[in-house]
Structure 1
């Protein structure tokens, strides 16, 4: 089994969905690379893109079509000016011209060259898509891709995905592996083992630096979210709430930048109610940014991107564990837990419902928090198990296919459960636990397989059809 870096699980992304936005965007970029490898951009006459299954059924609400066009247009979601996205997409649609790979303008008619096929699914995965390039000599390049969660993509022919296969020094594919290697090496902190394994990709200093870069992006995202008011795009007319909560908690205080704002949060009145409100505010702010095509931290997905930031911000603002080392250890442990779910179950809501997104993110955050609060390796794994145990069976049924209702509020619940799970684990003896993390991961996967497809990000069940939201 191949090893996965924690920074493939926790990474800079763009809203509103890792599987329905970032995945298709990555696939489009990969298809451009295939064209360049097999032929050349100059030889391409036309490009066609067809989305299937869940990608098609919730494609408009998730911005799947937008992501496909931007990826083919040569844009990079890590660097694109997010305020220019609407302008770029409008230009493609109105001019009916796509700048393929940023190198050659070709005809591109929305609805003809890009199709959302809602009546058909591909066998390999619910999030399927097929790219086809017609070359000037009449020949074709065709490639299938599947968005398998968290922005990861796959194909039925693995050699079409340019990804280095890495095996770490101490491969950890199950929770039991983590326990085994920590005992073998005499390590009391789970993060020490992960730091060693991450050397398969980069130095320990670079790993710490990347963790702190993630933290800066988290603060930036939350800061943007608490300073924006209005209504989220998409037609549901969902009002932003984070800014209002922030204003009530800080009063009329003025702050010049994210660090000054953060210090005012730290200095604000602390009581149980206010701390709970802050946790909700942190999570809401991130997911309101996510719903607006903002730049966020995917952890492990976009729909669940508010949980880990909210819990890490809670730790930084309301506990004494605020060093750079604490930040790095939190993220390393959280990311490693995410890899276990990806390898042994799924982090795709289209495969497993929202237990695969909010449930996994809550388990990740619970483990990270337990790590920096002084938990043993067993307590860290126990915290992750507790958090997931109480998300089992959670469905994904977004109203009108938008990552808004119930997704945004659900992140606040995942964060609260993560903190509670950490506190319970810290007061417990892991040796007496009745359910292991590996067992709950297996149970989650079995639950995913048994779940009706209507509750797997198709907007064909649950709240998506129970709540009558009129079209605007």
Structure 2
């Protein structure tokens, strides 16, 4: 299976790639299918069902809202995030929905959109089924989709253009394990980012790759800025979690201004780490409020790669070529997790989300700091090894506690992993492949209540009010 860096990184909407972006894409795909095969005008009713983890935490993750928007053919990358909640409220109040953006049908959000909290479909915990009916109640089309993490959606039953198939594109330097990736580097004499760029040329030109990666970086920066300038003091959802990024940035800017006026640098030895925390908090607070973010490789872990990349561009080097190198390297590691284990919290717990992102960020930073392919692989291994066993137990089913702080902690951990690897030769006892295999097996052994169902851990031990 061939994967592009632009499969791992995509612009989306918060708060969850698997529970918000995925359902929106699936619902949109179903609506467009009705139009493509000529059934849209006959449709008088659509029934949507969410199962497993989607059903258990769908309300907190905005899965229900995402389905409504998707049925109206909204796309996660372009949907107006400021207007989305208003439109959902209109649908609920009016009891009608603009299917595929144009065909108005009756839609009761209580009976036509059902979340099954304890029923799971085969294949994957994040399953959903859509069915369209005509005026007589006759079924016109039924499709089942699975949101498999990172916004990826798989439809095993459909055919034709609606079926998501593995990309069989032949790339120049194929790899599916860390060992194979290092072998490709040795055989070609290229670094990891260069190997990735050569593979990207199978889909698009070098300039297109560069332009799209820098666009993703622009969105990451815009997300941080939005998270730092919001005037709302608390996040939505009922937990009353306080936004911290605006206050933290104001405090850091005051310290910076005072030092500048005094003609001296800021004396705090952990000054840079404060900014890393800020960047991660800003992104994940935006994500928690349904803002525009870059899935990297998931929404729940979307703050780590931007935070580490912001750290590098602010304190080390802001060269755009380095940004591209960072993202390509991180994507190469992300591909290993996607192919060798999972990036879905509903499948392997938070180790698959924050753990993968920490590993990817560590690898990217190590590369732009001058690390060899072996050192980069070591950084990635350190990043995941010390996140093994991490559970996904969001309080209230919201991507807030412990998710937001966890991104900040993992961002600092990624920087430390990159620096540790640079002090070595790249030789180490535990390989990245072994760590990824361990993550997969740990996720398989992990109880369902610790895999994005909010039935265990902090989710049941923290009072929600």
Same fold (TM over 0.5): yes
- Determine the C-alpha separation between the residues in 2 that align with 1:360 and 1:90: 35
Instruction: Map residues 174-189 of structure 1 onto 2, 5 A cutoff.
Output: 174-187=177-190, 189=191
Conserved 8 A contact 1:124-1:156: no
> What residue number does 2:446 align with?
451
Q: Deviations over 1:225-279 (max 9, x none)?
A: 111241000000000001111001102999xxxxxxxxxxxx9837432211111
Q: 1:214 to 1:140 in 2, by over 3 A?
A: same
- Determine the C-alpha separation between the residues in 1 that align with 2:135 and 2:204: 43
Q: 1:270 to 1:154 in 2, by over 3 A?
A: farther
> What residue number does 1:207 align with?
209
- Determine the C-alpha separation between the residues in 2 that align with 1:136 and 1:219: 48
Shift of 1:103: 1.7
Instruction: Map residues 124-135 of structure 1 onto 2, 5 A cutoff.
Output: 124-135=123-134
> What residue number does 2:115 align with?
116
Shift of 1:162: 4.2
- Determine the C-alpha separation between the residues in 1 that align with 2:255 and 2:328: 37
- Determine the C-alpha separation between the residues in 2 that align with 1:19 and 1:279: 25
> What residue number does 1:290 align with?
287
**5+ long unaligned stretches in structure 1:** 255-266
Instruction: Provide the TM-score with structure 1 as the length reference.
Output: 0.93
Q: Deviations over 1:147-182 (max 9, x none)?
A: 100000112336443455423121111111111111
Shift of 1:345: 0.3
Q: Does 1:423 align with 2:419?
A: yes
Shift of 1:68: 0.3
- Determine the C-alpha separation between the residues in 1 that align with 2:128 and 2:464: 29
Instruction: Map residues 215-234 of structure 1 onto 2, 5 A cutoff.
Output: 215-229=217-231, 230-234=233-237
Q: Does 1:88 align with 2:87?
A: yes
Shift of 1:78: 1.3
Instruction: Provide the TM-score with structure 2 as the length reference.
Output: 0.95
- Determine the C-alpha separation between the residues in 2 that align with 1:47 and 1:139: 10
- Determine the C-alpha separation between the residues in 2 that align with 1:161 and 1:251: 54
Instruction: Map residues 40-51 of structure 1 onto 2, 5 A cutoff.
Output: 40-51=39-50
Conserved 8 A contact 1:50-1:130: yes
* Equivalent residue for 1:442, pick from 428, 437, 444: 437
- Determine the C-alpha separation between the residues in 2 that align with 1:135 and 1:331: 47
- Determine the C-alpha separation between the residues in 1 that align with 2:392 and 2:443: 11
* Equivalent residue for 1:365, pick from 347, 352, 361: 361
Q: Secondary structure at the match of 1:200?
A: coil
- Determine the C-alpha separation between the residues in 2 that align with 1:207 and 1:271: 39
> What residue number does 1:346 align with?
342
Instruction: Map residues 57-76 of structure 1 onto 2, 5 A cutoff.
Output: 57-76=56-75
Conserved 8 A contact 1:250-1:268: no
Q: Does 1:377 align with 2:379?
A: no
> What residue number does 1:263 align with?
none
Conserved 8 A contact 2:128-2:145: yes
Q: 1:252 to 1:378 in 2, by over 3 A?
A: closer
- Determine the C-alpha separation between the residues in 1 that align with 2:99 and 2:375: 51
> What residue number does 2:270 align with?
273
> What residue number does 2:260 align with?
none
Q: Deviations over 1:15-65 (max 9, x none)?
A: 000000000001011112322233331121111100011101101100000
| Equivalent pairs, count | 454
Conserved 8 A contact 2:153-2:164: no
Conserved 8 A contact 1:30-1:161: no
Shift of 1:74: 1.6
- Determine the C-alpha separation between the residues in 1 that align with 2:457 and 2:189: 48
**5+ long unaligned stretches in structure 2:** 258-263
Q: 1:196 to 1:95 in 2, by over 3 A?
A: same
Q: Secondary structure at the match of 1:355?
A: helix
- Determine the C-alpha separation between the residues in 2 that align with 1:374 and 1:23: 36
- Determine the C-alpha separation between the residues in 2 that align with 1:64 and 1:373: 39
* Equivalent residue for 2:328, pick from 326, 329, 332: 332
- Determine the C-alpha separation between the residues in 2 that align with 1:15 and 1:9: 16
- Determine the C-alpha separation between the residues in 1 that align with 2:62 and 2:255: 36
Shift of 1:430: 1.9
Shift of 1:8: 1.0
Q: Secondary structure at the match of 1:303?
A: coil
